[in-house]
Amino acid sequence: MCLPGKTPPAPSVSCMDASQRTYEEVSWNAWELVPRLELLSFYQVERRARDLSGIVTWEHHMCIKSCVGFTSPFAALECCPECGEPRYNQQELEESDGERKVPRKIFMMFPVGPQLQARWKYSQTAKSMFLSGQTSVVT
């Protein structure tokens, strides 16, 4: 609803499932149209979403060939126990005299606890969860 004397809301573009690159390209295009436009970086948006929702992600290193994740019991290994591939980018490691350990591949986990807590925060999703629980008990 537009009130007299108020600026109407800006048109928005929905990009569900968009990549970081898509966000940055859309931001760049918007900035070209309106150079004074101040937009959040992808990192800033990601951080705000995390702060508002309470949902966090856990990143773990994994073998470049996806054999194993370097989690316990493999957390301390520097090479994959299955294929022998190095865990870290060897060029980065050599150029920094072993200081910079950049994983060659990572995977992300979204712990279920914070997701459920976030759903209970809002009446619509909480009601939906409650009703789906009742349905499963009845059937």
Where does this chain bind Zn ion (CB under 5 A)?
Answer: 63, 65, 67, 80, 82-83, 85
* Smallest distance from Zn ion to CB 99, Å: 24
Q: Is the separation of the CB atoms in 83 and 63 below 8 Å?
A: yes
* Smallest distance from Zn ion to CB 84, Å: 7
Two tokens, residue 7: 């600026």
Q: Which is nearer to Zn ion, 67 or 93 (CB)?
A: 67
* Residues with Cβ within 8 Å of residue 13, at least 6 apart in sequence: 26
* Smallest distance from Zn ion to CB 116, Å: 33
Q: Which is nearer to Zn ion, 50 or 65 (CB)?
A: 65
CA 60 to chain centre: 13
Q: Which is nearer to Zn ion, 104 or 119 (CB)?
A: 104
Q: What single letter denotes the amino acid at residue 6?
A: K
3 state SS of 61: strand
* Smallest distance from Zn ion to CB 71, Å: 14
* Smallest distance from Zn ion to CB 66, Å: 7
Q: Which is nearer to Zn ion, 29 or 66 (CB)?
A: 66
108-138 burial, b if ≥16 CB within 10 A, otherwise e? eeeeeeeeeeeeeeeeeeeeeeeeeeeeeee
Q: Which is nearer to Zn ion, 47 or 65 (CB)?
A: 65
* DSSP summary character for residue 78: S
